[in-house]
Structure 1
Amino acid sequence: MADHQEASVTLPSEPASVAAARRHVAQVLADWGLPDGADTADSVRLIVSELATNAVQHTFGQSPVFTVDIRLEREEWLRIGVTDSHPRWPRRLPAAVQQDNGRGMVIIRWLTAEAGGRLSVSPTEDGGKTVWIALPWPVGAHTPAGRGSC
Structure 2
Amino acid sequence: MTVNLEALPLRHVLTVPAMGSAVRLARETTEQVLAEWGIRRHHPTVDPALLILSELVSNSVQHAAVLSPNVTVIYAAGADTFAFAVHDRHPYQPALFAAVAGDRGSGLATVMELTLGLGGTAVIRGDADGQGKSIWITLPL
Identical-pair percentage: 34
Give the gaps of 5 or more residues in structure 1: 138-150
Distance in 1, Cα, partners of 2:94 & 2:26? 19
Query: SS at the partner of 1:90?
Result: coil
Give the gaps of 5 or more residues in structure 2: 1-7
1:125 deviates by 2.7
Residue 145 of structure 1 corresponds to none
* Structure with more contact order per residue of length (Cα contacts < 8 Å, sep ≥ 6): 1
1:25 deviates by 0.7
Name segments (4+ residues, structure 1) moved above 6 Å: none
Counterpart contact for 2:10–2:77, Cα < 8 Å? yes
Query: SS at the partner of 2:47?
Result: helix
Distance in 1, Cα, partners of 2:16 & 2:9? 23
Residue 105 of structure 1 corresponds to 108
Summarize the alignment of residues 1-150 of structure 1 with structure 2, pairs less than 5 Å apart.
4-73=9-78, 75-91=79-95, 103-126=106-129, 127-137=131-141
Structure with max Cα Rg: 1
1:37 deviates by 2.1
Query: SS at the partner of 1:39?
Result: coil
1:60 deviates by 4.7
Bigger share in helix:
2
CA gap of 1:42–1:69, structure 2 versus 1, over 3 A, is same
1:38 deviates by 2.1
Distance in 2, Cα, partners of 1:114 & 1:32? 24
Distance in 2, Cα, partners of 1:112 & 1:36? 18
**TM-score w.r.t. structure 1 length?**
0.79
Query: SS at the partner of 2:15?
Result: strand
Residue 4 of structure 2 corresponds to none
Report how many residues are paired: 129
CA deviations over 1:79-110 (Å, ceiling 9, x no partner): 100000000012468xxxx79xx711101101
